[in-house]
Amino acid sequence: MKKELYLMMIAFLASMGISNAQGQNPECMTNLSIYSEHVKVKNYDAAYTPWKMVYENCPDVNRANFTYGERILADKIKNSSGSEKDGYIQDLLDLHDNSIKYFPTKFSKAGVAIDKALLKYDNKMASNTEIYDILSDAFKNDRGNFKNPKALYLYFSSLVDLHGSGAKELQEVFDVYDDVTEKIEDENKKLTGVITQLLPKDSLGTLTSKEKRRLKVATTNSQSYGKIAGSVDSKLGALADCGNLIPLYEKSFDAKKGDIQWVKRAVGRMFSKECTEDPMFQKLFEAQLALDPSADAYMYAGMLKLKSGDKNGAISDFNKAGELETDTYKRSNLMYKIATIYRRSGSKGTARSYAQKAINANSASGKAYLLIAALYASSANACGSSPFEKRAMYWKAADMARKAGRVDPSLSGRARQSAASYSAKAPSKTDIFNSGMAGKTVSFNCWVGGSVKVPNL
């Protein structure tokens, strides 16, 4: 019986990746097995003593010393106070440092720095300066592994607070904002790629259990990035309005006009904040065009021509922009920006056309679906021959909004709110009953075209 138990223990520990050298210590192996079983059933208090023995005497016997050790110490911190709690916090900080020391291929520099920063932040053990310095160093030196949504927000949030106290310049706030939003976009791009791949199988009910888990994880993580993106934008707030942007860029232009990254970010920010009427936008755009006559540059050129009344010139520049951009994801974003330009000018049909091009280039472009939904909703009064038909347009808008949330869960919050708002404006059940239109089709003869089926009662 003892022999069978020992063989089972060996098999269990081998499955956890124990090194041969440390595997020769029977006491470590026995205690590793004991605390692992306790952790599995969340009996962290019972796991503490055997874990501590293994961690202190055989730290590199298995990665579980750190992954399980974090859970054990987190439980101790949660259930203690005063100096005892402080001691456990320090133990966990040390554990994070040792994790990369003993398992450098399993733990990343950014991951360790994030764990330490969040632990200090959650326990009010560090100033904004310390938090920002830790996260800034991690982001700059290990950006690929800097993926924690909360840490991304804290990185930016602590900087904004430092700027508010006069400790950091506004330009640094903008630089980090751009870095963080680009990182969020890059990570969400990977997640929506998974979602786009699996959604067709999900609709057919043919997903395997493994694929279901992948879809659920990707959807959940995308939603998290969406929430953080909204929080980052809110934290930036009025700092990025035209009143702050224009004097900052006027002051920095001569020194920075040869820095293509600075110029492109400045032009992009003025565009997104609709500061394009100011001469500084023209100045920055011309600098970008001279440094890098890229797709974005032609898109901005087309916008300026459209505003001046040169529609043919604008179309030419927009087409040139589309030809230059070969990356489908970037092309989608470019088409979306052109769609917003036409939307602002009141050309709804053309705006939808470019939004559809954005979707064609990237089927996960939720923001393009939301734009089309908004275009439909804004046209309700212009489509239909009766109040019922006019309000039926909101069903079409709501459907587009829901699609946005399905293809890009990072926008699910906005998508749900938009869909709910549009649905509330559509005909009610009473309206449907009184009209006798249940189950029938309403066709739209305006620029929207198409039709919508009235729900059955």
Determine, yes or no, domain membership for 310. yes
Residue 443's beta-bridge partner residues? 451
DSSP collapsed to 3 states, 365-395: CHHHHHHHHHHHHHCHHHCCCCHHHHHHHHH
Q: Is residue 246 part of a domain?
A: yes
Confidence of residue 24 (pLDDT cuts 50, 70, 90): low
Dihedral sign, Cα of residue 296, residue 301, residue 305, residue 311: negative
What is the mean pLDDT of the segment spanning 18-46?
Answer: 83
What does each C-alpha distance from 79 to 48, 68, 71 come to in angstroms? 13, 17, 12
pLDDT band of 2, cuts 50, 70, 90: very low
At residue 447, does pLDDT exceed 90? yes
pLDDT for 21 equals 42
Asked which of 178-187, 351-360, 380-389 is least confident by mean pLDDT, the reply is 380-389
Query: What average pLDDT does the segment 174-190 reach?
Result: 96
Is residue 180 assigned to a domain? no
Asked if residues 362 and 335 have their Cβ atoms less than 8 Å apart, the reply is no
Question: Is residue 1 pLDDT above 50, yes or no?
Answer: no
- Residue 371's pLDDT is what? 98
Q: What does the alpha-carbon distance between residue 240 and residue 11 come to, in Å, rounded to a whole number?
A: 59
Per residue in 273-282, pLDDT (tens digit) is 999 999 999 9
Average the pLDDT over 448-457 and give the result: 93
Say yes or no: 244 and 387 in one domain: yes
Residue 417, domain extent: 240-431
In sequence order, the β-bridge partners of residue 453 are 441
Number of domains within the chain: 2
From 53, 87, 107, the end of a domain falls on: 107
Is residue 144's pLDDT more than 50? yes
Q: Report the pLDDT value the prediction gives residue 321, as an integer from 0 to 100.
A: 93
Whether residue 101 has pLDDT greater than 80: yes
| Number of other CB atoms surrounding residue 406 within 10 Å | 18
- State the average pLDDT over residues 52-64: 96
- In the prediction, which pLDDT does 20 show? 42
What pTM value is reported for the model?
Answer: 0.86
Work out the average pLDDT over 408-416: 96
Domain stops at, among 57, 84, 107 = 107
Q: Is 98 found in the same domain as 246?
A: no
- Reference 124, options 85, 169, 174; nearest CA is 85
Statement: residue 10 has pLDDT above 90: no
DSSP for 8-73 reads: HHHHHHHHTT--TTGGG-HHHHHHHHHHHHHHHTT-HHHHHHHHHHHHHH-TTS-THHHHHHHHHH
- Among 107, 135, 159, which residue terminates a domain? 107
How far apart, in whole angstroms, are the C-alpha atoms of residue 138 and residue 432? Answer: 58
pLDDT at 426: 97
**Rounded distance between C-alpha atoms, residue 196 and residue 65, angstroms:** 37
For the chain, the average pLDDT equals: 93
State the CATH number of the domain containing residue 282: 1.25.40.10
More confident residue, 353 or 14: 353
Give a yes or no: residue 332 inside a domain. yes
Query: Each residue of 241-297: pLDDT tens digit?
Result: 999 999 999 999 999 999 999 999 999 999 999 999 999 999 999 999 999 989 999
pLDDT-derived band at 218 (thresholds 50, 70, 90) equals very high
Mean pLDDT score, 162-183: 96
- Is the separation of the CB atoms in 318 and 302 below 8 Å? yes
Reference 122, options 67, 184, 77; nearest CA is: 77
